[in-house]
Amino acid sequence: MTLFKVLHYPHVLLRKKGTPVEKFTDELREFLKNFINTMYEFDGGGLAAPQIGVSKRIFVVDFKPVFESDKFEYTKDCFKVFDKNHKEIEPKFPMVFINPQIVEKSEPIKVNWEGCLSFPNAESFNTERFLNIEIHAQNEFGEKFSVKSSHLYASVCFQHENDHLDGIMLVDRWNKNSFSEADIIADIKDFENDPAERKRMKKIKVTEASKIKFDFL
Protein backbone atom coordinates (compact mmCIF):
# COMPACT_ATOMS: atom_id res chain seq x y z
CA MET A 1 0.00 0.00 0.00
CA THR A 2 1.23 3.47 -0.91
CA LEU A 3 0.24 6.56 1.03
CA PHE A 4 0.51 9.90 -0.70
CA LYS A 5 1.69 13.15 0.85
CA VAL A 6 -1.17 15.62 1.36
CA LEU A 7 -0.14 19.12 0.33
CA HIS A 8 -0.77 21.95 2.76
CA TYR A 9 -1.74 25.52 1.95
CA PRO A 10 -0.16 27.59 0.39
CA HIS A 11 1.57 24.92 -1.77
CA VAL A 12 1.62 26.10 -5.39
CA LEU A 13 0.16 22.85 -6.81
CA LEU A 14 -3.04 23.40 -4.85
CA ARG A 15 -3.76 26.31 -7.19
CA LYS A 16 -3.29 24.30 -10.39
CA LYS A 17 -6.56 23.39 -12.12
CA GLY A 18 -7.20 19.72 -12.74
CA THR A 19 -7.52 18.44 -16.29
CA PRO A 20 -10.07 15.79 -17.35
CA VAL A 21 -9.19 12.11 -17.12
CA GLU A 22 -9.27 10.48 -20.56
CA LYS A 23 -7.51 7.16 -19.89
CA PHE A 24 -9.26 4.74 -17.54
CA THR A 25 -6.38 2.35 -17.00
CA ASP A 26 -5.42 -0.33 -14.50
CA GLU A 27 -2.85 2.09 -13.14
CA LEU A 28 -5.61 4.64 -12.54
CA ARG A 29 -7.56 2.06 -10.55
CA GLU A 30 -4.47 1.14 -8.53
CA PHE A 31 -3.83 4.84 -7.91
CA LEU A 32 -7.41 5.23 -6.66
CA LYS A 33 -6.95 2.44 -4.09
CA ASN A 34 -3.91 4.22 -2.67
CA PHE A 35 -5.66 7.58 -2.93
CA ILE A 36 -8.59 6.28 -0.89
CA ASN A 37 -6.24 4.76 1.69
CA THR A 38 -4.56 8.14 1.96
CA MET A 39 -7.92 9.78 2.69
CA TYR A 40 -8.54 7.25 5.47
CA GLU A 41 -5.02 7.55 6.91
CA PHE A 42 -5.51 11.28 7.40
CA ASP A 43 -9.10 10.92 8.68
CA GLY A 44 -10.71 12.73 5.78
CA GLY A 45 -14.29 12.49 4.56
CA GLY A 46 -13.12 13.53 1.11
CA LEU A 47 -9.92 14.16 -0.82
CA ALA A 48 -9.24 15.71 -4.22
CA ALA A 49 -6.36 14.75 -6.51
CA PRO A 50 -4.81 18.27 -6.56
CA GLN A 51 -4.38 17.93 -2.78
CA ILE A 52 -1.72 15.28 -3.41
CA GLY A 53 -0.19 17.11 -6.35
CA VAL A 54 -2.01 15.24 -9.13
CA SER A 55 -3.72 17.83 -11.31
CA LYS A 56 -6.58 15.67 -12.58
CA ARG A 57 -10.32 16.04 -12.09
CA ILE A 58 -10.73 13.32 -9.48
CA PHE A 59 -12.00 13.25 -5.93
CA VAL A 60 -13.08 10.54 -3.50
CA VAL A 61 -15.52 10.68 -0.58
CA ASP A 62 -16.84 8.44 2.17
CA PHE A 63 -20.01 9.64 3.87
CA LYS A 64 -20.91 6.33 5.55
CA PRO A 65 -19.61 7.29 9.03
CA VAL A 66 -21.55 10.56 8.87
CA PHE A 67 -24.72 8.91 7.57
CA GLU A 68 -24.54 6.40 10.43
CA SER A 69 -23.97 9.05 13.10
CA ASP A 70 -26.50 11.34 14.74
CA LYS A 71 -24.66 14.55 13.87
CA PHE A 72 -26.40 15.07 10.52
CA GLU A 73 -29.89 13.73 9.89
CA TYR A 74 -29.85 11.17 7.08
CA THR A 75 -32.69 9.61 5.09
CA LYS A 76 -32.54 7.75 1.79
CA ASP A 77 -34.47 10.56 0.14
CA CYS A 78 -31.72 13.10 0.84
CA PHE A 79 -28.96 11.18 -1.00
CA LYS A 80 -29.73 9.31 -4.21
CA VAL A 81 -27.35 7.68 -6.68
CA PHE A 82 -28.26 6.87 -10.29
CA ASP A 83 -26.40 4.69 -12.80
CA LYS A 84 -25.68 5.52 -16.46
CA ASN A 85 -29.23 4.46 -17.36
CA HIS A 86 -30.67 6.85 -14.74
CA LYS A 87 -31.75 3.92 -12.58
CA GLU A 88 -31.50 4.53 -8.85
CA ILE A 89 -28.88 2.34 -7.17
CA GLU A 90 -27.71 1.82 -3.61
CA PRO A 91 -24.87 4.15 -2.53
CA LYS A 92 -21.60 2.28 -1.96
CA PHE A 93 -18.71 3.90 -0.14
CA PRO A 94 -16.05 4.99 -0.71
CA MET A 95 -17.21 6.74 -3.88
CA VAL A 96 -14.94 7.82 -6.73
CA PHE A 97 -15.83 10.90 -8.79
CA ILE A 98 -13.90 11.35 -12.02
CA ASN A 99 -14.54 14.36 -14.27
CA PRO A 100 -17.35 15.56 -11.96
CA GLN A 101 -19.70 18.37 -12.90
CA ILE A 102 -22.14 20.06 -10.56
CA VAL A 103 -25.08 20.60 -12.90
CA GLU A 104 -27.65 21.94 -10.43
CA LYS A 105 -27.50 23.71 -7.08
CA SER A 106 -30.12 25.53 -5.04
CA GLU A 107 -31.00 26.82 -1.56
CA PRO A 108 -28.01 28.89 -0.41
CA ILE A 109 -26.71 28.15 3.10
CA LYS A 110 -23.85 29.22 5.35
CA VAL A 111 -21.69 26.75 7.26
CA ASN A 112 -18.90 27.40 9.76
CA TRP A 113 -17.51 23.89 10.24
CA GLU A 114 -15.94 23.21 6.85
CA GLY A 115 -12.54 21.60 7.34
CA CYS A 116 -9.81 20.57 4.91
CA LEU A 117 -6.84 18.21 5.01
CA SER A 118 -4.82 20.93 3.28
CA PHE A 119 -5.57 23.30 6.20
CA PRO A 120 -4.65 21.22 9.26
CA ASN A 121 -4.98 22.97 12.61
CA ALA A 122 -6.51 26.04 10.94
CA GLU A 123 -9.61 27.77 12.26
CA SER A 124 -12.76 27.55 10.13
CA PHE A 125 -14.92 30.50 9.09
CA ASN A 126 -18.31 30.95 7.42
CA THR A 127 -18.55 29.50 3.93
CA GLU A 128 -21.45 30.03 1.53
CA ARG A 129 -22.65 26.81 -0.09
CA PHE A 130 -25.84 25.23 -1.48
CA LEU A 131 -27.93 22.56 0.21
CA ASN A 132 -29.34 20.90 -2.92
CA ILE A 133 -26.81 19.50 -5.36
CA GLU A 134 -26.90 17.37 -8.50
CA ILE A 135 -23.52 16.10 -9.63
CA HIS A 136 -22.60 14.02 -12.69
CA ALA A 137 -19.36 12.04 -12.90
CA GLN A 138 -17.63 8.86 -14.05
CA ASN A 139 -16.40 5.96 -11.96
CA GLU A 140 -13.03 4.21 -12.13
CA PHE A 141 -14.10 2.37 -15.31
CA GLY A 142 -15.33 5.49 -17.08
CA GLU A 143 -19.00 4.65 -16.53
CA LYS A 144 -21.27 7.64 -16.00
CA PHE A 145 -23.40 8.08 -12.88
CA SER A 146 -25.05 10.90 -10.97
CA VAL A 147 -25.94 11.88 -7.42
CA LYS A 148 -28.71 14.08 -6.08
CA SER A 149 -28.06 15.32 -2.57
CA SER A 150 -29.95 17.44 -0.09
CA HIS A 151 -27.87 16.10 2.80
CA LEU A 152 -26.01 19.00 4.40
CA TYR A 153 -22.64 17.32 4.96
CA ALA A 154 -22.58 15.51 1.60
CA SER A 155 -23.62 18.57 -0.41
CA VAL A 156 -21.01 20.78 1.24
CA CYS A 157 -18.34 18.12 0.76
CA PHE A 158 -19.13 17.81 -2.96
CA GLN A 159 -18.77 21.55 -3.45
CA HIS A 160 -15.59 21.65 -1.37
CA GLU A 161 -13.86 18.84 -3.26
CA ASN A 162 -15.02 20.19 -6.61
CA ASP A 163 -13.47 23.56 -5.69
CA HIS A 164 -10.10 21.84 -5.33
CA LEU A 165 -10.30 20.71 -8.96
CA ASP A 166 -10.41 24.36 -9.99
CA GLY A 167 -7.66 25.49 -7.64
CA ILE A 168 -10.14 27.19 -5.30
CA MET A 169 -9.21 27.18 -1.60
CA LEU A 170 -11.21 27.78 1.56
CA VAL A 171 -9.50 31.15 1.95
CA ASP A 172 -11.15 32.17 -1.33
CA ARG A 173 -14.58 31.35 0.10
CA TRP A 174 -14.13 33.05 3.46
CA ASN A 175 -14.85 36.73 4.06
CA LYS A 176 -11.48 38.46 3.76
CA ASN A 177 -12.26 40.62 6.80
CA SER A 178 -12.87 37.60 9.05
CA PHE A 179 -9.38 36.09 9.12
CA SER A 180 -5.67 36.72 8.71
CA GLU A 181 -4.01 34.63 6.01
CA ALA A 182 -0.71 34.95 7.86
CA ASP A 183 -2.33 33.45 10.97
CA ILE A 184 -3.80 30.59 8.92
CA ILE A 185 -0.39 29.76 7.46
CA ALA A 186 1.23 30.03 10.90
CA ASP A 187 -1.30 27.56 12.33
CA ILE A 188 -0.52 25.11 9.54
CA LYS A 189 3.24 25.49 10.13
CA ASP A 190 2.73 24.86 13.85
CA PHE A 191 0.95 21.63 12.96
CA GLU A 192 3.71 20.54 10.58
CA ASN A 193 6.42 21.28 13.15
CA ASP A 194 4.69 19.57 16.04
CA PRO A 195 7.04 16.78 17.26
CA ALA A 196 4.24 14.21 17.41
CA GLU A 197 3.14 14.99 13.85
CA ARG A 198 6.71 14.89 12.54
CA LYS A 199 7.20 11.51 14.19
CA ARG A 200 3.95 10.21 12.73
CA MET A 201 4.81 11.37 9.22
CA LYS A 202 8.20 9.73 9.43
CA LYS A 203 6.60 6.48 10.54
CA ILE A 204 3.97 6.21 7.79
CA LYS A 205 6.40 7.09 4.96
CA VAL A 206 4.35 9.06 2.45
CA THR A 207 5.11 9.26 -1.27
CA GLU A 208 5.04 12.48 -3.31
CA ALA A 209 2.49 11.68 -6.02
CA SER A 210 3.51 14.74 -8.05
CA LYS A 211 6.82 13.00 -8.87
CA ILE A 212 5.17 9.88 -10.32
CA LYS A 213 4.45 9.69 -14.06
CA PHE A 214 1.10 7.90 -13.99
CA ASP A 215 -0.17 6.60 -17.34
CA PHE A 216 -3.52 8.39 -16.97
CA LEU A 217 -2.02 11.88 -16.74
Q: CA separation (Å) from 89 to 76, 86, 93, 148, 205? A: 11, 9, 12, 12, 38
- The DSSP call for residue 119 is S
Q: Which residues are paired to 189 by β-bridges? A: none
* CB atoms inside a 10 Å sphere around CB 72: 14
86 annotated ligand binder: no
116 annotated ligand binder: yes
Virtual CA dihedral for 145, 148, 152, 154, nearest 10 degrees? Answer: -10
Q: Give me the catalytic one of 143, 161, 181, 208.
A: 161
> Which of these, 74, 76, 75, 54, lies nearest to 66 by C-alpha position?
74
> For this structure, is 134 an active site residue?
no
Is residue 160 helix, strand or coil?
helix
DSSP assignment of 64-98: HHHHHSSSS---GGGEEEE-TTS-EE---SSEEEE
Rounded CA-CA distance 148/165 in Å is: 20
Q: Which residues are paired to 108 by β-bridges? A: 130
157 annotated ligand binder: no
- Residue ranges for the binding site for Fe cation? 116, 160, 164
- Residue ranges for the binding site? 116, 160, 164
Active site residues: 161
